[in-house]
Amino acid sequence: MTLRQQLQNRNISEHGDRQITVECVHKAIPYGNACRELIHTADALAATPFAWSLKTLICYDIFHATEKILAGSDDPVPHFISILQDNAELLKAAAFRTEAYTQMPSQAFETLEQETGSHYGNLFNKFDEEHYFDEPLRLLRTRLERNRFDFSFMRGKRALDAGCGAGRYTFALRSLGFEEVVGLDCSIEGIAHAQQTADSCTMDGVSFTQSSVLDIPFADASFDFVFSNGVLHHTRDMQKGIEELLRVLKPGGKGFLYLIESPGGIFWDCIETLRAVMRDVPYESARRQFALMGVPAHRCFYILDHIMVPINIRSRPEQVEQMLQEAGAVSVRRLTRGTDFDRIERIHRQMPFCDVKYGVGENRYFFEKP
């Protein structure tokens, strides 16, 4: 089986269901049994609105508590096990309360792309100005600066933001110096929000197109710079997406690619466990529960991003490098720095237990087209 087939077959359903691979429950790691028990307990609950709300509540609690553990200097494993066990006990205690009240209809989607686009479109559309404009600009500038990107390259250049969501990084790329930036995304909701924002602000040189990153509707060699920030790991064919990035990139052009990593330590084992817990919870139910809890839009996105998206494929660094090289990329370089809270930056700074907490860190890459 080729690398492409291996990656295509992981976590993907032919019918759009959230298919979950929780690798940690099959490995001899200290918290594997606690992850398994939590998932088993969650699966035993009836599929009712009460159960969905309960699962969403423990999803928030586990994610939030795990963040605090990872930020500390103690061995994270005992604390992580305790969090998982406490929430499993909560589910067991509440199991008898999951009466089957009338269920609200769950939104139906014809394709995985529509489902993914709707998921992100509804997460992005309530960001405040700080988290829509200022935060992505600050994060991107720091990541590029710390990895020695030549900002002078941007002058007079045209860039593509492939998988732009609601356009946060499209505007950031324009602010950093590109003359023109085109945002592309499959999300009808995301593109509508991005275009509305572009129409209401004074920034020129930004436009948006609704289409798939696996079938980019632009001619060969259309862009000087291509940017794909955490997108292709949510598609059926990452290799095809990378090939499309290289196709529309001009010879001598540069690219930026971010794909989620494996191994990922407790950080990703937590997310994969919560994906299994939340797999039958409707998107609108989770978003409504978070709103009732007063969770800000940017936090709602950060927590539910990978937990509820249909496809969430993690890759080893050597797999990413192989895909880039097979697509024709040269000068492939994995970024070893990030913002202060990036996992790769914490690994760079050799923070306590960073390998247990974060695995190899984010797969961010620079590459070029010969």
Domain residue limits, the chain: 19-98+266-308, 115-262+314-368
Q: CA-based diameter of the chain, in Å? A: 64
Whether cis (ω within 30° of 0) applies to the bond prior to 78 is no
* pLDDT band for position 104 (cuts 50, 70, 90): low
* pLDDT band for position 329 (cuts 50, 70, 90): very high
Q: What is the pLDDT of residues 307-320, one digit of tens each?
A: 999 999 999 999 99
Residue 10 has pLDDT above 70, yes or no: no
Q: What is the pLDDT of residues 113-168, one digit of tens each?
A: 888 888 888 887 778 999 999 999 999 999 999 999 999 999 999 999 999 999 99
| Residues in a beta bridge with 333 | 366
pLDDT reported for residue 26: 84
Q: At what angle do helices 297-308 and 283-292 cross, to 10 degrees?
A: 150
* Per-chain mean pLDDT for the chain: 91
- CB burial readout 71-107, b (16+ within 10 A) else e: eeeeebbebbbebbeebbebbeeeeeebeeeeeeeee
Residue 226, SS3 per DSSP: strand
- How many residues are present in the chain? 370
Q: Is the dihedral of CA 169, 173, 174, 180 positive or negative?
A: negative
pLDDT reported for residue 103: 55
**Of the candidates 255, 230, 259, the residue with the CA atom closest to the CA atom of residue 332:** 255
Exposed, middle or buried: residue 161 (CB in 10 Å: 0-12, 13-18, 19+)?
buried
Residue 1 has pLDDT above 60, yes or no: no
CATH code, 115-262+314-368: 3.40.50.150
What is the percent of the chain where pLDDT is above 70? 92
CB-CB contact of 281 with 289 (8 Å) = no
Exposed, middle or buried: residue 154 (CB in 10 Å: 0-12, 13-18, 19+)?
buried
pLDDT reported for residue 8: 47
CB-CB contact of 120 with 161 (8 Å) = no
Q: What is the pLDDT of residues 41-69, one digit of tens each?
A: 999 998 888 899 999 999 999 999 999 99
pLDDT reported for residue 3: 53
Q: What is the mean pLDDT of residues 68-83?
A: 97
Residue 202 has pLDDT above 80, yes or no: yes
- Rounded to the nearest 10°, the torsion over CA 305, 311, 316, 321 is -100
Q: What is the pTM of this model?
A: 0.93
- CB burial readout 244-266, b (16+ within 10 A) else e: bbbbbbbeebbbbbbbbbbebbb
